Amino acid sequence: MTTIAHISDLHFGVAVPSVVEGLARHLIEHPPSLLVVSGDLTQRARAGQFAEARKFLDRFPWPRLVIPGNHDVPLYDVVRRFSSPLGRYREQIQEELNPLFQNDEVLVAGVNTARSLTWKSGRISHAQMDQLAKRLAQGGARLKVVVTHHPFIPSPLSPKAGIDLGRAAQALTILEQHKVDLLLAGHLHHGYAGDTRTHFASATRSIISVQAGTAVSRRVRREPNAFNWITVQPDTLLIQMLAWDGRGFQPAKRTRYRKRDGAWLPEPA
Ligand SMILES: [Fe+2]
Ligand SMILES: [Fe+2]
């Protein structure tokens, strides 16, 4: 069994100190196998904001897989935005933009979807798809997980809004070929999960896409600060959302999927 603490959209710069402390406290009391951070570590990609994010991450001794989000590319500093969009991220958080984690049970591949040109929208390049295919091919029987900042499925609150991820359908064919089971993302500041087949008519494989809310920032939209605690087993995915109640992170929405005849089916959690 592998446990993943999936946090997203920290937005240091507009992070609420009491929630930051609450999250650190909760994580230290409940150590995961892996900490996944699905982007938007900062609000404006400033050096001081990355320093705060790095200091926060360094409080935890477990393996971590971190990818950037669109807010980690400068928006108003146009020179830096185009000359070195993720320069500060690479200097202060980590050099690798498409990180990889594996243990005996899972292979987790991060894909950087943040771009300078289409600042808010994400994209996956052909080179990234090639790299991803090679990595997934080496996964063997392990359960395969792909992490992006931009989600592959829209929020159930605005299903017609579409998604903000260029070449998603093309990338999905690679995820299907290489038997990916789980996608993790953020960006919309809304925690929800669903099967990618509900959005892509052409999809042939059941792949569960799990989004995390904003962990610690005051940029909350429809729900309080939240993150996901995900328990991964070969035939079961348990997604426990933990939401801030003003004093601590408490269990909130819980979704369990069980694999039957190759499809992930929701069942009472
Ligand atoms: Fe965000
Ligand atoms: Fe974002």
Q: Which ligand is nearest to the CA of 150?
A: 2
Ligand 2: centre distance to CA 69 (Å): 5
pTM summary value: 0.97
Question: Model confidence over 47-57: pLDDT tens digits?
Answer: 999 999 999 99
- Residue 76 pLDDT > 80: no
Whether the Cβ atoms of residue 24 and residue 68 lie closer than 8 Å to each other: no
Ligand 1: centre distance to CA 12 (Å): 10
Q: Which ligand is nearest to the CA of 11?
A: 1
Q: Which ligand is nearest to the CA of 190?
A: 1
**Where residue 78 sits, what CATH number does that domain have?**
3.60.21.10
Q: What is the mean pLDDT of residues 238-267?
A: 96
Number of domains in the chain: 1
| Secondary structure letter of residue 133 according to DSSP | H
Helix runs in the chain, H state only: 17-29, 47-57, 78-83, 87-92, 126-137, 168-177
Phi, psi of 211, rounded to the nearest 5 degrees = -110, 145
Ligand 2: centre distance to CA 262 (Å): 32
Ligand 1: centre distance to CA 179 (Å): 28
Question: Model confidence over 168-215: pLDDT tens digits?
Answer: 999 999 999 999 999 999 999 999 999 999 999 899 999 999 999 999
Q: Which ligand is nearest to the CA of 73?
A: 2
Ligand 2: centre distance to CA 17 (Å): 20
Ligand 2: centre distance to CA 105 (Å): 29
Report the pLDDT value the prediction gives residue 78, as an integer from 0 to 100: 78
Ligand 1: centre distance to CA 39 (Å): 7
Report the pLDDT value the prediction gives residue 263, as an integer from 0 to 100: 95
Q: Which ligand is nearest to the CA of 15?
A: 1
Q: What is the mean pLDDT of residues 64-79?
A: 91
Residue 45 sits in which domain range?
Answer: 2-267
Distance between CA atoms of 137 and 8, rounded to whole angstroms?
Answer: 27
Burial status of residue 89 (CB atoms within 10 A of its CB: 0-12, 13-18, 19 or more) = buried
